[in-house]
C-alpha cells in the first residue's frame, strides 16, 4: 500500500512528510463545498487546471519502478495506492487499486459518465485562452492534490458534461467523501489473502489507509512500514524502516534479484 511519500521523488509534494512540502497552502476542497457552490467549483477547476501540467509532467521514480519490478517477479500480489497521480501504472505496474481514484479521469455527477482529464484540459484551454496564458506564467506553488495556491480565479470559465450538461468532478475521493464500498471491500479481501502488507510512504493519518494496517494486524499478517518519519501504524507494525523510498526499494529489488527472486530492471 503506497502513499504520497512514494511520489515526492517525482516532484509531487505530500501532506505530512519531513521535507516541508507537507504543509499545504490553504485548505483542500471538501466534497460538500464542491457540490454545494458554483463559485467553489470555479475556484477548484481554475486552480486544478493550472496544476494539471505539473501532474502530467511528473514521471515515475525509482521507487515506482522497483515496485513494478517486484510485481513482475511475482512478489507483489497487488498494489493499493492512496495516490491519485497514476505513477504506479506509468512505471509498468498492473494490479493497482486506486483507493482514492485518479486525477486522470473526470466524472459527471448527473449521468456518471467518465471521461479523460486530457479531453477536459483541451476544453478548458479553449474556454480560457487569455486567462490561462496569463496565469501559466505565474508559476504558483503546487499542492499535494494537484491544484495550485492561487486565489484570483473569478474570470475562469468552467466546463460542464458534454453528454448531459451536468457538473464535472475529478474522479477522486474528496475530503468529506467516502471511498466506494466495493473498492473498500476489495482491498480488505486483497489484504486478507496476502502473506504480508508493506506500507510505502504513508503516514497512515487518514483512516482510509490505516484500516488496512489494523485489518492485517488483527489477522496476524506481518506489516512492514517504510516511510520517512513516524506513522500512525508503527505500533501495529512487525518492522518499520525510516529511509528514502527510491533508494530503499531499488536496493531491495536488487538484493532479491541476486537471490533469484526478482527482476532487477529497475
Q: Residues marked as binding for NAD(+)?
A: 3-23, 82-85, 201-203, 227-229, 245
| Burial classification of residue 38, based on how many CB atoms lie within 10 Å of its CB (0-12 exposed, 13-18 middle, 19 or more buried) | exposed
Q: Is residue 107 within 8 Å of 171, Cβ to Cβ?
A: yes
- Positive/negative CA dihedral, 37, 206, 69, 251: positive
Q: Is residue 175 within 8 Å of 198, Cβ to Cβ?
A: no
Provide the 10 A C-beta neighbour count for residue 104.
20
CA distances from 54 to 84, 115, 241 (A): 13, 20, 30
Cα–Cα distance, 33 to 224 (Å, whole number)? 37
Residue 160 corresponds to which cell in the numbers above? 460542464
Cα–Cα distance, 81 to 99 (Å, whole number)? 6
Q: How many CA atoms lie within 13 A of 149 on its CB side?
A: 12
Q: For residue 236, what are the contacts with CB-CB under 8 A and spacing of at least 6?
A: 213, 214, 216, 217, 223
* Known binding-site residue numbers: 3-23, 82-85, 108, 111, 161, 164, 201-203, 227-229, 245
Is 100 annotated in the active site? yes
DSSP string of 57-90, one letter each residue: H----HHHHHHHHHHHTT----EEE---S-HHHH
Task: Say which of 64, 100, 104, 215 is annotated catalytic.
Answer: 100
* Known binding-site residue numbers for Zn(2+): 108, 111, 161, 164
Query: Which residues are catalytically annotated?
Result: 100
Amino acid at each position: 500500500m503506497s502513499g504520497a511519500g512514494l511520489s515526492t521523488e517525482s516532484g509531487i509534494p505530500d501532506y505530512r512528510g519531513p521535507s516541508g512540502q507537507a504543509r499545504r497552502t490553504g485548505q483542500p476542497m471538501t466534497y460538500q463545498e464542491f457540490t454545494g457552490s458554483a463559485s467553489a467549483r470555479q475556484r477548484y477547476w481554475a486552480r486544478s487546471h493550472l496544476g494539471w501540467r505539473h501532474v502530467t509532467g511528473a514521471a515515475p521514480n525509482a521507487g515506482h519502478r522497483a515496485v513494478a519490478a517486484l510485481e513482475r517477479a511475482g512478489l507483489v500480489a497487488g498494489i493499493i495506492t492512496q495516490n491519485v497521480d497514476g505513477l504506479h501504472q506509468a512505471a509498468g505496474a498492473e494490479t493497482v487499486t486506486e483507493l482514492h481514484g485518479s486525477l486522470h479521469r473526470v466524472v459527471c455527477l448527473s449521468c456518471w459518465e467518465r471521461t479523460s482529464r486530457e479531453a477536459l484540459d483541451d476544453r478548458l484551454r479553449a474556454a480560457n485562452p487569455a486567462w490561462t496564458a496569463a496565469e501559466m506564467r505565474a508559476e504558483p506553488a503546487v499542492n499535494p492534490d494537484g491544484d495550485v495556491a492561487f486565489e484570483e480565479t473569478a474570470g475562469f470559465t468552467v466546463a460542464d458534461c458534454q453528454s448531459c450538461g451536468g457538473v464535472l468532478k475529478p474522479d477522486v475521493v474528496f475530503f468529506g467523501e467516502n471511498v466506494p464500498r466495493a473498492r473498500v471491500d476489495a482491498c480488505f479481501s486483497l489484504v486478507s489473502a496476502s502473506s504480508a502488507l508493506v506500507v510505502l510512504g504513508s503516514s497512515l493519518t487518514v483512516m482510509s489507509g490505516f484500516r488496512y494496517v489494523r485489518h492485517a494486524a488483527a489477522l496476524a499478517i506481518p506489516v512492514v512500514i517504510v516511510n520517512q518519519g513516524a506513522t500512525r501504524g508503527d505500533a501495529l507494525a512487525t518492522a518499520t524502516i525510516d529511509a528514502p523510498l527510491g533508494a530503499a526499494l531499488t536496493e531491495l529489488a536488487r538484493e532479491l534479484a541476486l537471490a533469484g527472486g526478482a527482476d532487477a530492471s529497475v
